[in-house]
Every structure is written in structure tokens, then in C-alpha cells.
Structure 1
Amino acid sequence: MTNRLMPAMSFLLLLVFLVVVDDRVLPVRAVVPDGSMRFELVREHGPDNGGAELQHTRELLQRDVARYRMISQRRRVGQSARRKTLEQEVPSRGIDCVNETVSMDSPMISGRDYGIGQYVVQVKVGTPPKKFRLIADLGSELTWVRCHYDQRRPRHRRHGVFLPANSSTFTTIPCSSRTCKVDLMNLFSLTRCPIPSAPCAYDFRYLDGSAAVGIFAEETITARLTNGHEMKMEKVLIGCSESIRGPTLQAVDGVLGLAYTRPSFTATAARRFDGKFSYCLVDHLSHKNVRSHLTFGNSRGHSRLLAKMRYTNLVLGGAISPLYGVDISGISIGGKLLDIPRQVWAPNSGGGVIMDSGTSLTFLAAPAYQQVIGPLKASLSRYMRVNESVGPMEYCFDSTGFEGSHVSRLVIHFEDGARFEPPVKSYVIDVAPGIKCIGLLSAKWPSMSIIGNIMQQNHFWEFDLAEKKLGFAPSSCT
């Protein structure tokens, strides 16, 4: 087993999606009537009682910080072995598409009711297809499921375990293949190869102590279209994880990888659905009966939001790879543009900004954080500050009588003139009954900034990979 750097995916604070499909199946290249494929999102949180909820918040923040460190480390070491992105996978509109009017659409729900800080999806894997609950993550390159491949080992005694022996379309990738030795190197494929036909193995290790060990394979994923039909996506790269450790992973059956790189699920789905995907994150405190959607292709919700949509450039590849970057020019508080050095926003100067569905809070590089936190604290000075420690968050207060109108509004300005104006609840957040905190964290400079999923909530986000642009609009997401 070789020593490798930390993996490109994380199970700290992620998205989890729920896919529901019927029994009608279409081949992947078939042209079908008007429709789309969409996923419903549910976010998982913790208990509602005061002390337990505060402790749960601390634990989630610790995982958030660990995830940020992992992303930063991956960026530092990734330059010498840059992974292949989707530049050639989604070159233009209409390439390998099922139909420009057809989309892949599934429910998304907040993870509050599952005891973890992610959004969750059910995906049908194998032939015949079986449902599995997966963590979905913009920062993850590999889709994997909890699996029982080695018949010599004791079988997992739980429902959400994939059994390759029961699937007619499961095909392992040989350890002697170029795919294993070269193409999957950045996904932590191992060098051991007892015989040429043995499966290509991987070993993921995480900064929070979590780990997933298994083998690479190709498998069929069955997806629902919004017109009610199904389609089979064949030869999708998946991981079959035999050994899994870590508390976050115990609540789910695996991970849906959505990073901008060839091995990810995005590589398979986006090129078939007009080179784009979108999601709308419900309030992070919503229960699982409140649903939104993850969509590959043209979202039906997009047409209702056309008048409100704003667009900005997506930064893809290069120093950002395999993440989704944006060009920011500055931040204003209460209508005043803050004095933040330009290099904070420049990927080639040690900075840069990414959109991340798997990190809950928003991290700002120290020069930006120092400028932002001051005026926000000043606008909250009428409320009594609390000394209760809430992890790394600097400023918390007694929220009795709180009015969002008292808070100076934060606006993120993009280089091309677009403005993102999140609601106050996205950066002044509830952490326990009667306690709110400024939901921003400082990152030691030089460092990348991250717009987390709480800051993204109650907005529709469309990632157009073909045109390299990001569209967004305020939305209730329901």
C-alpha cells in the first residue's frame, strides 16, 4: 500500500440526494419526450435540545475545519500531478446529449434529521438496480458505495450494502491496466497487483480519521427523467468500499462524486445533459419533508427564475482543479466596499474562491475576514455577547428579540458586475436555542476562500460547464 496524500473527496459536510424512479427504462442515447432528471435534497442536522444541539454544532464545525484543511492541502500538492478535468468531456453544446429538452432530475432534502451535516441522495446502482443513500459532494471525484465483494470475508449485516455478485453489469478494473496505474492515480489507486486480473484497489484516508478502502469497478446507474421515464447510464466508474471507518460515513451508504474531473459522476451525466447541472439548497434547518432538487440538464425551475437570474464566470481547471471557482472583485457591508487586497481573490497569487456544497460555513482568507467581521460585529452590538464557546466562530450573542433588519447587509461582488446578496440568516446563523453566531471563519493567509452551503441556501445555482458560467437567483427551493 503506497503512501498518498489526502483524497480529493470528503465526508465531512456534504450533500445527500434522494432519487426516485419508476420501472420504465430507456437506453442512455435514446431521445425521449420532454422531461428532465432531478434529485431531491435533504439536509441532516442534529438534535433540537439546547446543550446537545450546541455540542453537535461544535462537532460539525470541527469537521468543517478539517475539510477546509484537506481542501487546502490538496491544492498545495495537486499542482505536480494535476488531474484530468472535463475540458474535453464537455467541449460544446449538444455533444453526446440525450436531448436538450430532457433532464435528469432528483429530490434533494436537508440532512437535519439524519444527524450529519450533509445533503443526501438515493441512487440506483447495478442490474437489477438497488437503491443506496449517498453523500453528494462538489469536491468529491469518486462515486462509491458500501460493498461486499470478497466472498471470503463476513458479509455486512446491514441493508445498504451493494452485492456485486447479484449484479450482471458489475465489472472490476484490473490492477495491471493503464486505467488503474495512470488514470486512477489521483484517486489513490494502490500499487499492489498480485495477479494481472486482480481488481484495482484504493485506500482513502481523511484528516478527521475517516477512511474507505475498496476496489474500482464499472457499473450501471439507473436514473429518472422528469418525464417519468428511466435511463441506464452504463460503465460508470464507481468504488466498491469493503472497509469504511468514521462516524460521518455510518449514516449513509457511500458518496456521489460531483467534482469537475473525468472520474466523477459529473463527467458521465453532464455530457449527456447539455453540459450543465443545478441545485437549490433548502434552509439548512429544514426537516426532510422539505425538498428541493438536483438536476442534470435544463431545470424546470430555471424558467420561473429567468427574470431574477444573474450570471458570472466559472473558474475551472488550473489552480482550482477539480473544484468550482468564481471570480470575486470584493465584498461590501452596509453598502460600503471593503478594503480587501486583490490577491485574496486571485488563484495564482495564493488566494481564489470556490463554491463548495460540502462545507457548511463560509471561510474567508484572513485579510478578507478581518475586514468583514468588524462591521458585522458593530451592527450586532445591541445584542448581549455570550461567552459560550462555539468552536472556531469568533462572535456569538443572545438572540432574544433579534431582528435581521439590524444587521448590515453583506454583498459579494463578482468581477463581471454580478452581485450575490444572501439573506441575513445565511451569515448570522442559529447554533442553539437563544444563541446566534456570525457564521464566517477565518483562514490563515495565503489560503483559498470557500462559499459554503449555508451561504448558498435559498438560492438556485446553475453550473454551466460548456459555457463556463454560474447562474444564480434567490428561491424558496420548494
Structure 2
Amino acid sequence: MAAENPQSRRRFLLFLFSVLMICLSPTMSHRQNLQLKTGSRITTTTTFNVSASLAEARRAVSFDTTSSDRLLPSPSSSSSISSYAMTLPLFSRDFFPSADGYDTQRHRDYEALTLERFARDAARVRSIASRLALAVGGMSSSDLNALLAEEKVVWRSARGWLNGSIVSGGSTGSGEYFSRVRIGTPGTELYMVLDTGSDVNWIQCLPCADCYEQVDPIFDPSASSSYAPLSCQSSQCRSLNISSCVKTARKRRCLYQSTYGDGSYSIGEFVKETITFGSSVRVSGVAIGCGFDNGGNLKGAAGLLGLGGGPLSFISQIAARSFSYCLVDRDSDASSILNISVADSATREPVTAPLVRNPRLSTFRYVEVTGMSVGGKMLPVPPSEFAVDEGSGKGGVVVDSGTVVTRLSPPVYTALRDAFRAAMGKKLPMVEGRFMLDTCYNLSGRTSVKVPTVMFHFPRGQALPLLAKNCLVSLDGAGTYCLAFAPTTVPFSVIGNIQQQGIRVSYDLANNLVGFAPNAC
């Protein structure tokens, strides 16, 4: 046999190496840069516009509530909800308008505004945790009794025929976004908080035993021809977690109580009323609380419209097949749109994930998350860290419009924080954290910075990349920004509204899917 030519041998080895690289390149590419199932390439970094963020913070503090006119046009006709979708403008709580001499509390600076937001946020998460603890068990009898004692409110009535004590109707948070609807016949225009983490709908009503100050005149039931009290035997009254009844001269009537983590509450009579949306869609027979005793801080709104998954939420009562919303930036006075449809409408969002129901707690809407990544690298945590335990009802990831900062289990948060810090390196100076946030940077004097891309991953190779503004939150309006994620000791995770801002979130209830469409507001 002829001797092997060294040059031919080198060419052969180079050929083998090239073939090997081609075979391995898809795997190597996936490790370096994760891709969506649609094939669009995800960059490992995203740019944060510091200048634009600081400008919005200045406008948020100096915003003039008396100059904002968000009244909707009067209804021109009545339409059936079977053929129409309901559309509402959606506004951030911190840009609530003023009217009739009422003005929302102005903050002395941006840090004070941030402090109030985080205080509401902490109260909201504690309230959700208490609700979950009651639903799944695991609380000692003494802890449970203490919780119920705190929620117990003595009924006070201007009429004198209602007295006694009732306990929670099962609400969990006061919400962060609001819109304008009409209640009754003829319709009375009212600003109402819209909350995906609440079920019971309610408004303040005359005569008030105790009502907080609101922008609009308080609703007068005697002026509405569609006002109808619900009996204790009605299915709506029985759907309250715990209800209380009072005997009048003719029949027993149903009472409700809604309490919230920030100390707000509403107590009154559970009734049926008509709600009108936009310029044409009118829905009759909606179970809603008419509150004669109300307190707390709902920023002048007349009440709350529940968009949760329980049987008493507005979404459930009208048998909506889908709804979607887009949350505007918290420091922006712009509006977005909430759409509710009773017709079949499959989600067409570029990113979809299974909608998961917790058998122990129907109010909250869970999404199936399989993992998270930072800068194109998956976090070293198992999918079980994000899953709902069907036996106990613990675990899982809730999508909530009323929670501000995303909460993650300690193992997930630690991995996320460490990966984010490592990717940031020493390019930016870290500063001491505040509130529940421990990864903060001084960005003052900078126009823009690059930060690692954070992504949520879902089944079937789907992934949602977050913009930099969804990951960093301003603390003082002067250049201190923190990673907008925090650890939680409660047995579930929550995707908060900072991470949802600028993303259209769609709930396909007919097909149990959650859709996400970045930059589609």
C-alpha cells in the first residue's frame, strides 16, 4: 500500500472537523442564543432608555389631575352582549382624575410615590397569601382565628335595620388600574377599579353609614329602575365564600363584605344591576355589591369590577370566552384598552402558554411556566419550581394586574439575581437596595444602558422576552434603578404588572390559553 500523503491527511481531518461543526451548530446556537418557536432570534441584551424613564418619572410627580378629562360619551343605543365585544379604556391608578373639588393625594417626590406603590404591593401579596392559606389549609387554628378576627367588621347602617357582624366575601386586592362604566337605569357614570385578582363587583351606595370620598356622586339605588336585591336563596348569594342575611319586613336579603390587603373594605347589600360599557353594550342582571359602609383608599374610584376566575366575577357572570388588556407604563398618563368578548376568539398572540386552574382557588389565573433565562442562559432550576401541586393547591405562577413586583420562589429568585448580576458585571455601579429589592444600580448621568434579557419560558418551546423597562424599576426618579423581581416566602409565584407593561395579555378562556404580544398596545 502506498504511504499516506500528509497533506491529504490534513485535508481529510479538516473535512471531518467541518462536518462535526455543522452537526453540532444547532445545539451550540441554542445554548448561546435562545430562540422562540416562531424562529425569531432573541438577543442576549436589551437597551434601557434611562433618559425617557427619568422624564416619565418627573411627569408622574408633576401631573395635574384637574386637567384630565376621561369621561366617555353617553350611550346611543342598547346592544346585546351576544354580538358585541366590550371595550374599555384602561388607566393607571396613579393618574386618577379630579372632579368636584376632590383631588387625589399629591406626592412630594417620586420616592414617596414609589414607597406608596410598594406598600400597596406588599399588602396585596400578604392578602393573596392569606386567601391561599385559607383555601389550601396548613394554618394553625390560632392563626386562622386571628386572621378571621382581623377581617371581621361590625355592620353599621344609616337605616337602622341592618346590624350584626359578617365576614369576608372573598376578595383579595384593590387593583392598580381603573376605567369608567355606567351603573343602573338610567346609567350613572362611575370610575371603577378593574382587578384581575378579585371576583366580587361593588360600588358605594346611598345612604352611606360611612363612605370614603370619590370623584363621582355616590350611586343612589332609589334612582335606578333596574336595582333589585338578591335573596339569600339566590345562587349568587350562595356563591359568596361566607354570606350573611338580614330579615326585612318582606324577605331576607343577602349581605356581602369585601376586604383588601391595604385595609380597604366594602360592606352592603348584594343586588342585581345593569352595567353599560362604552357607547352601546348594556348588560343586565349583574350581581354587584351596593356598599353602605366602605373605607380605605381606592383613589376616589366608586368601586371595583372583578375580572377574576371565580363565579361572581364579571367575566364569569357574562360567560366571556376571552378578554385581553394592555397595561400602560405606571408613570404614564396614557390609556390602553381592555377588551371582553363573549364570542369564540382563539388567541393569535405570537407567544402562548397553557392557562392553569388551581382547583383550590378559582379567583387567580395561573400560567404554565417551565423555566426562566437571563442573557440567553437558562437558570439552573427545575420546572417543578413553577408548577401547581394539584393535591395541595400550592405552587404555580399567577398572572396578576394588581401586584407590582414579580415574586419568585427563593431558589428561582436567587438564580435569577445571581445570573443578572453576573451578566451586568462591573459595568455599572451597584448601590444599596431598598424595600424588598436587593439588586440596584446608579444610572444617573447615563442616557441608556444595556442589560441582560430576562425571559419566561413556556411549553412547546415558547418564550417571552422582557424589555429592559419590564426588568428595572425606578426608586427615586433620580437614577437609582433596581431589578424588579423579589423573593417570596408564600407558596406561589406572581408575575406582576411591571413585567406586563407594554405587553398585550390575552386570556382565551375557551381554549385555556394565555397569549402575550410584546409592543402590541
Shorter-chain TM-score range: 0.7 to 0.9
Aligned to 1:390: 434
**Structure 2 CA distance for partners of 1:312 and 1:459, relative to 1, 3 Å:** same
Matched, 1:145 2:197: no
Residue 450 of structure 1 aligns with which residue?
494
* 1:120 Cα deviation from its structure 2 partner: 1.2
Which whole-Å CA distance do the structure 2 matches of 1:342 and 1:30 have between them?
40
Which secondary structure state, in structure 2, belongs to the residue aligned with residue 63 of structure 1?
helix
Structure 2 letter corresponding to 1:241 = G
Amino acid across the alignment from 2:357: L
CA distances 1:60-111 after superposition (whole Å, capped 9, x unpaired): 112211111211221221247xxxxxxxxxxxxxxxxxxxxxxxxxxxxxxx
What is residue 91 of structure 1 aligned with on the other side? none
Using a 3 Å threshold, how does the CA distance of structure 1 residues 51 and 155 change in structure 2: closer, same or farther? closer
How high is the TM-score relative to the length of structure 2?
A: 0.70
User: Matched residue pairs, number?
Assistant: 401
Do the aligned residues in 2 keep the contact of 1:134 with 1:256 (CA within 8 Å)?
Answer: yes
- CA gap of 1:371–1:30, structure 2 versus 1, over 3 A, is closer
SS across alignment from 2:179: strand
Give the SS at the match of 2:226: coil
For residue 404 of structure 1, report the CA deviation from its aligned partner. Answer: 5.9
Alpha-carbon contact 2:502-2:520 (below 8 Å) kept: yes
Q: Distance in 2 between matches of 1:219 and 1:123?
A: 13
Q: Matches of 1:412 and 1:464 in 2, distance apart?
A: 19
Partners of 2:324 and 2:82 lie apart in 1 by 22
How far apart in 1 are the matches of 2:322 and 2:258?
28
Identify the residue that residue 475 of structure 1 maps to in structure 2: 519
Q: Which residue of 1 aligns with 2:9?
A: none
Aligned partner of 2:309 in structure 1 is 260
2 CA distance for matches of 1:49 and 1:191? 41
Are 2:83 and 1:25 aligned? Answer: no
1:161 to 218, 221, 226: 218
Determine if contact 1:356/1:453 at 8 Å carries over to the other structure: yes
Counting only pairs closer than 5 Å after superposition, residues 86-235 of structure 1 correspond to structure 2 as: 118-149=176-207, 159-174=216-231, 176-179=232-235, 182-184=238-240, 186=241, 188-193=242-247, 197-224=251-278, 230-235=280-285
For 1:223, give the aligned amino acid: F
Structure-1 separation of matches of 2:335 and 2:108: 28
Larger radius of gyration: 2
Q: State the identity as a percent.
A: 28
Distance of aligned partners of 1:55 and 1:347 in 2 relative to their CA distance in 1, 3 Å threshold: same
2:322 to 276, 300, 311: 276
- Output the amino acid matched with 2:410: A
How far does residue 230 in structure 1 lie from its aligned partner after superposition?
1.0
CA change 1:21–1:466 in 2 (3 A) is farther
Offset of 1:143 from its aligned partner? 1.1
CA shift digits 1:267-290 (9 cap, x unpaired): 13443xxx0011111222111xx2
Partner of 1:437: 482
Q: What are structure 2's unaligned runs of at least 5 residues?
A: 1-69, 96-103, 138-173
Whole-Å Cα distance in 2 between the matches of residues 36 and 323 of structure 1? 23
1:57 aligns to 2:57 (yes or no): no
Q: State the Cα RMSD in Å.
A: 3.0
Per-residue CA distance 1:212-250 (angstroms, 9 max, x = gap): 1111100001123xxxx6132110011111122112x24
Q: 1:37 aligns with which of 86, 90, 95?
A: 86
